[in-house]
Amino acid sequence: MTDSSSWDWSIGKRQIADITQWKETFGYVEEPYVSPDGEKIAAIIKTEDMEFSVCENGNAWENAFDKVWFLRYSPDNRLTGIVSDTAEWTLAVEGEAWENKYDFAWNTIFGRDGKSMLLMTQADGEYSVLINDVPWEETFPYMTNLAGNADATRAAAVAQTIRFSEGDIFAFQKGCYTVAVDGKVWDTNFVNVYEPVFSADSAHVAAQVRTSLYDYTIVVDGEPWPAVWPWVWKAAFSPADGSVTAPVKTPEGWTLARDGHVFWGQRFAQLWHHVYSPNGMSIAAIVAPKYGHWTVAIDGNAWKKTFNDLVTDLVLSPSGRRAACAGKENDRYTIAVDGTPWPFHCDMAWEPVFSPDEQHVAAKIEKDGQFTVAVDGKPMKAQFKNLWNPVFSPDGEKIMIRAIEGSGDKETYVRQVLPLTEILG
């Protein structure tokens, strides 16, 4: 996790950048991105020579490129972008391109502390992975579904191991895909493989597979579960005991299976995106108890409140005792916490954030083209042209707002730390 204790948590508002000035200086300015600590804001720009570069807090990178895209901050506040120079692609960190370059590079993944980062690469039609500028030795005819372990020092991806011609439907059905972990493939091929995932200790990898056109199961470290189902979704490892769970479709409905056996007694019209509490003692999932009615189930028990459009962005509190999600009904969003929706609707709601002490929940919301933050169901009075997800202080008593202020064409980026009481009263 990111250690935010060293960040500036003194109460007050600081203007970090005048975006209007950037636009006057550079002309071409893409949408900005903000560092997790709120101290930096950056956007892709074009130079006078019509090359791409990056402006951070008003200062352009010294280097310019043929193209920059996927500008993102790492959790430790380093600015990265995927860059191309004379048709060679790689990752640039703080303006400096990595040495290894490819015909294409994409899908940057960061470790949770930001120290390590990885991305997918392609050169001469061969696909591989680059971790901290160190490439895998192995390459494959195709790779997809890239995943990193928690600290992004290891990677897994779906890899094609057998080439086949387009139209050779029977070769495909024999199985041409498996999982590559740190470049090493599992022994068995499958018809399809989806969404590899690492265990909490990074020692194991599980994935969904289709073993024929009709049978799905979960494979852990290359070993399929003994049972198959007509449909499964993404697996997850228990942080407590390393067991593997996945949603599976039984004749009676969707439920959760563990290590190859049905685990939950309840059945649902749909069940997906299950998540563990950090201690592994609790599992939450997005479920539809009835067709077209969406909610959250904790350890198989669904909230009474349901949403007719969707439920998304399910999060558990640090201890797993509380859960929150975004829900949409009749085309309007809200946040629901522990089964109770907040008392308003908005045009969009972002992933809710628990305070470290679990006492509070905050979320970015949008209404009528204006953005604000709501805490425990109460929106701030201030509205912004845009903002990023709120961040709680380590003691849970303050909240950081990272926002674009201004009216008309004027836009400034401000970093504000507020006592929670200012919002909650």
Which residues make up the interface to other proteins (CB under 8 A)? Answer: 27-28, 30-31, 46, 67, 69-70, 103-104, 106-107, 120, 122, 142, 144, 160, 166-170, 172-173, 177, 191-192, 194, 210, 213-214, 216, 230-231, 251, 269-270, 272, 288, 291-292, 294, 308-310, 312, 328, 331, 347-348, 350, 366, 386
State which residue, 127 or 354, has the beta carbon closest to other proteins: 127
- Could you tell me the smallest distance in angstroms from the CB atom of residue 3 to other proteins? 25
Q: Are 187 and 180 in contact (CB under 8 A)?
A: no
Residue 424, phi then psi, degrees to nearest 5: -80, -20
Identify which of residues 171 and 424 has a Cβ nearer to other proteins in the complex. Answer: 171
In sequence order, what DSSP letters do the residues of 259-321 get, joined into one string?
TTEE--S--BSEEEEEEE-TTSS-EEEEEEEETTEEEEEETTEEPS--BSSEEEEEEE-TTSS
To other proteins, the closest distance from the beta carbon of 384 in angstroms equals: 12
From CA 140, how far away is CA 4, in angstroms rounded? Answer: 39
Tell the smallest beta-carbon distance from residue 71 to other proteins (Å): 10
- Shortest approach of other proteins to residue 122 CB, angstroms? 5
Q: How far is CA 391 from the centre of its chain?
A: 16
Minimum distance between the CB of residue 75 and other proteins, rounded to whole angstroms?
Answer: 17
Pick between residue 323 and residue 417 the one whose CB is nearest to other proteins: 323
Dist. CA 380–CA 323, nearest whole Å: 22
CB of 168 to other proteins, least distance (A): 8
Closest CB 258 distance from other proteins, rounded Å: 22
Enumerate residues 6+ apart whose C-beta is below 8 A from 315. Answer: 275, 323, 324, 325, 351, 352, 353, 354
What 3-state class would DSSP assign to 19?
helix
Minimum CB distance to other proteins smaller for 215 or for 338: 215
Query: In the bound complex, what is the minimum distance in angstroms from residue 275's beta carbon to other proteins?
Result: 15
Residue number, 404 or 417, with CB nearest to other proteins: 404
| CB of 216 or CB of 342, closer to other proteins | 216
Cα–Cα distance, 64 to 50 (Å, whole number): 9
Contacts of 236 (CB under 8 A, 6+ apart): 197, 206, 244, 245, 246, 274, 275, 276
| Nearer residue to other proteins within complex by CB, 15 or 173 | 173
| 275, 284 Cβ separation under 8 angstroms | yes
Nearer residue to other proteins within complex by CB, 145 or 282? 145
Q: Using CA atoms, how far apart are residues 63 and 92, in angstroms rounded to an integer?
A: 10
What is the rounded CA–CA span in Å between residue 285 and residue 291? 16
